[in-house]
Amino acid sequence: MLFSRVLCCFVLLLLKPFGANAFCFENALDSFHVYVEQISNYTGLKDVAFRKEIQAGGKECCNFHNLDCNQNSSDNDVMTSFLTSVVDPTTGYRYPDTLLEIQVPSGGFCRFSGDPHHATVEVYNANGQQIHPQMILHNL
């Protein structure tokens, strides 16, 4: 009986990180950073929205229960919009000279990979299936 309780708690602890995030961003670029700024589905206070510069090989997430970056604190069908760009960490230069507006579903994640000058951007839903939301380029 005690063993089954311990095993159950251990399994729940292992699974908790996979279902606890409203969204995540992964930077699979070799040496460039990815800048991400949330522009929807947050409390409205610009200083508490999700805003990160993610180092090469890094990952950043917002927890489902963090109302600062997940106003709905609920299911996986909420799409959140972000402005993103690839940044050279030594010069601060953005590649290309644009910001990319993308939408990521709650529970999902976005991965940047490939050539930093023309990065591949992939978006996945909470079930790990790749989706293809609209992406809008904004000139700087």
Question: 100: helix, coil or strand?
Answer: strand
What domains are there in the chain, each with its CATH number? 2-139 (2.60.40)
Query: Could you give the CA distance from residue 23 to residue 26 in angstroms, rounded to a whole number?
Result: 10
| Strand (E) or helix (H) holding 19 | helix 2-19
In sequence order, what are the residues at sequence separation of 6 or more whose Cβ sits closer than 8 angstroms to the Cβ of residue 131? Answer: 105, 108, 123, 124, 125
Q: What are the pLDDT digits (tens) for 41-62?
A: 877 666 668 899 999 999 999 8
pTM for the whole thing?
A: 0.79
| Strand (E) or helix (H) holding 25 | strand 21-27
Q: What are the pLDDT digits (tens) for 8-53?
A: 333 333 333 445 678 999 999 999 999 999 888 877 666 668 899 9
| Strand (E) or helix (H) holding 26 | strand 21-27
